[in-house]
Amino acid sequence: MMAIRISLQQQQRVVRDIPEAATLSPTEEEFRDFCAYIKRIAPEYAKEGIVKIVLPEKWKPNFNLEITKEFETFKQALHHLQEGAAFGTGGMYDQSSYKKYAEDHRSEWLASHPDVTRQLEEAQARGEEASVASTLEDEYWRIVERASEEEVLVDYANNLDTKKFGTPFKCSSTNRPWDLSSLGHHPLNIQKRVGTRIAGVTSPWLYFGALFTTFCWHIEDHFLYSANYLHKGADKTW
């Protein structure tokens, strides 16, 4: 086990020129049917592995999710991720308190890294949002790969069942064609044949993340399409 850990720690990330994912903007007509749209774009983009879909400008979901129930989090140690160690126990939060935690966590980390803060401010002043994301991603990998340089702990809420915690889509099903809660029932979706509810597969999970929180790849992500909807907050880097 120790040999495996040392080997993992010594691995170096191979830097490659990875192109940006394609960004697609479906029309309102195309947007009305999720599965039909995915079926149409698959021949061209399936080989890419991922696409970013920007929703029609007129589509404004009635986002009114307010989670007053507390949820538990896991404490991720970024500097130990390469060891494959289990996550520790994090704090208990509701939606409001986690938002404050995430804001404080980001502010505290940036305050302790003035050089990074300066780079981000300069990139933002130039309107280079891609540079902002790239700078933070470089810092993420530095922490992960050079564990001896810095210890970073962050609380992360994952796998929250929307049956318990709810969904932000409160309008009728006809007005929410891309509501992840409805996709499992689409006539073209093979998951409809499963016949039972499987949280995270036939019904969505809800996540709360902060700066440097890390999503773990699941086995089903290798065999099925994975649809992620960014509700609020900062961009997510894949």
The secondary element (H helix, E strand) that includes residue 38 is helix 34-45
Distance in angstroms (rounded) separating the CA atoms of residues 174 and 171: 8
Tokens in use for 202? 């036939």
Residues 6+ apart with CB under 8 A from 195: none
Enter the pTM of the model.
0.82
75 CA to centre of own chain: 17
Task: Residue 214: name the closest of 81, 109, 102 by CA.
Answer: 81
Q: How far is CA 96 from CA 69, 92, 107, in A?
A: 10, 12, 17
**Cα separation of the two ends of the chain:** 29
Task: Residue 162: name the closest of 134, 202, 133, 126 by CA.
Answer: 202
The pLDDT value given to residue 1: 46
DSSP code for 163:
H
Are 182 and 176 in contact by the 8 Å Cβ rule? The answer is: yes
Distance in angstroms (rounded) separating the CA atoms of residues 41 and 133: 27
Are 72 and 155 in contact by the 8 Å Cβ rule? The answer is: no
- Give the CA count within 13 Å in the CB-facing half-sphere of 108: 11
Q: Would you give per-residue pLDDT tens digits along the chain (238 residues)?
A: 444 454 444 455 555 567 888 999 999 889 888 888 999 999 999 988 899 999 888 777 666 666 788 999 999 999 998 888 788 999 999 989 999 999 999 999 999 999 999 999 999 889 888 788 889 999 999 999 887 789 999 999 998 888 787 776 655 555 566 777 777 777 777 777 777 777 777 778 889 999 999 988 777 778 888 888 887 788 888 8
The one-letter amino acid at 163: K
Are 216 and 157 in contact by the 8 Å Cβ rule? The answer is: no
